[in-house]
Amino acid sequence: PVHSSCEKGSCYGILLRNMTAFELTREVLCGSCPDVSQESQPQCILRVEPESNAETSIQTSLGVVTIDAFTCEACNGTIARQQTHLAELPRFFVVPINKWAHALGPSTDSKLKVAGVEMQRIAVTHHVGGTPEAGHYTATVTTCTNWRHLLCLLYHSHAATH
């Protein structure tokens, strides 16, 4: 079980995990020899840094990057590149893209390509507040004809004292 509510049959966590799960593979290529190492992990969320739009944010996070403080186990070389790959995409792909308050964030185009697959954006969640536990949440969701700003949630966490 994911947590104690799963045992009572009142948990949507397993359903959500099954609908959003994908395999993320990080491949490290030594720059001094042909050595390549791979590590795959199951994920439900792809975390990315904000760029000009969601598609660019995702592509940048999957791009090739140079690794600092690397030592190759095969040749002791210190130069390496890392490439991140997505295996088969899930039906619902969750990608939080954070931005600082009052900063322009990624555009909210309705369609975007991820790993060569065209996907339809169905919702964007917005948060204004000092922490994820306190603030004002709204969501913009798509309908058959356009985007609608439908949901307004207020969330504030209070520590219980007795």
Mean pLDDT rounded to a whole number for the chain: 76
Token representation of residue 61: 């996070």
**pLDDT at position 38:** 95
DSSP 8-state assignment for residue 99: -
- One-letter amino acid for residue 93 of the chain: F
Half-sphere exposure of 107 toward its Cβ, with a 13 Å CA cutoff? 8
Query: Is the model's pTM score more than 0.75?
Result: no
**100-129 average pLDDT score:** 70
76 vs 61 pLDDT, higher one: 76
Quote the CA–CA distance of 25 and 18 in Å, as a whole number.
18
Alpha helix (H) residue ranges in the chain? 4-7, 13-20, 54-61
72 vs 147 pLDDT, higher one: 72
Q: What are the distances in angstroms from CA 39 to CA 26, 93, 133?
A: 5, 21, 33
Cβ neighbours of residue 39 closer than 8 Å, sequence gap 6 or more: 25, 26
Cα torsion for 108, 109, 115, 116, to the nearest 10°? 180
Token representation of residue 143: 């309908």
Which tens digit of pLDDT belongs to each residue from 10-61? 666 777 788 888 999 999 999 999 999 999 999 888 888 777 777 888 888 8
Spatial CA neighbour of 1 closest among 15, 14, 10, 12:
14
E strand residue ranges, the chain? 22-30, 36-43, 65-67, 80-86, 111-114, 117-120, 123-131, 134-142, 147-156
Residue owning tokens 């919702």: 123
Give residue 105's pLDDT band: very low, low, confident or very high (50, 70, 90).
Answer: low
